Amino acid sequence: MTLPETGLRCMPRTQIAVAVVVAEGRVLVGRRSAVAIDASGLHEFPGGKVEPGEPPESAAVRECLEEVGLAIRVRRRLDAIRAESSSGPTDVLFFVAEPTDAALAPRPPFEWRRVAALEAGAFPPANASVIGWLHRHHGGS
């Protein structure tokens, strides 16, 4: 996109939908590859880019199924954070979700972690408010 009054190019914001999947005091967490371009080696919640025309809630459901192999139900939007990534400006949309079957095991590198054991510093900075919310509302210390 080009701004007509200046002729400068404006990068469109990428939307990332993230599923914060909670069940019985545990949350679904993975670890990014050590060679990932952004947030390498840090913990993450399942999520990814919202496709054109796709509702963000649907993207969170799709990404969780693709990355983790678990079907989820989105309960509500939790937070929206503006961030910068290697691909430019990003809106990260966090959704609280629950698994449709909590007995199913997630695919590695994802696993169920006790909320009380989560440390904000082990996640990208954009996740800080979500970690705080989890501690306050789902058994964290």
pTM, 2 dp: 0.86
Query: What does the alpha-carbon distance between residue 133 and residue 77 come to, in Å, rounded to a whole number?
Result: 12
Q: What is the DSSP letter of 127?
A: G
**99 phi/psi in degrees, rounded to 5:** -75, 150
Domains for the chain: give ranges and CATH numbers.
Answer: 14-137 (3.90.79.10)
The yes-or-no verdict on residue 83 having pLDDT over 90 is: no
pLDDT in tens, 101-119: 988 999 999 999 999 999 8
Of all residues in the chain, the percent with pLDDT exceeding 70 is: 85
Query: If you average pLDDT over every residue of the chain, what do you get?
Result: 87
- As a whole number, mean pLDDT of residues 11-21 equals 90
Nearest CA among 46, 40, 28, 36 for reference residue 118:
28
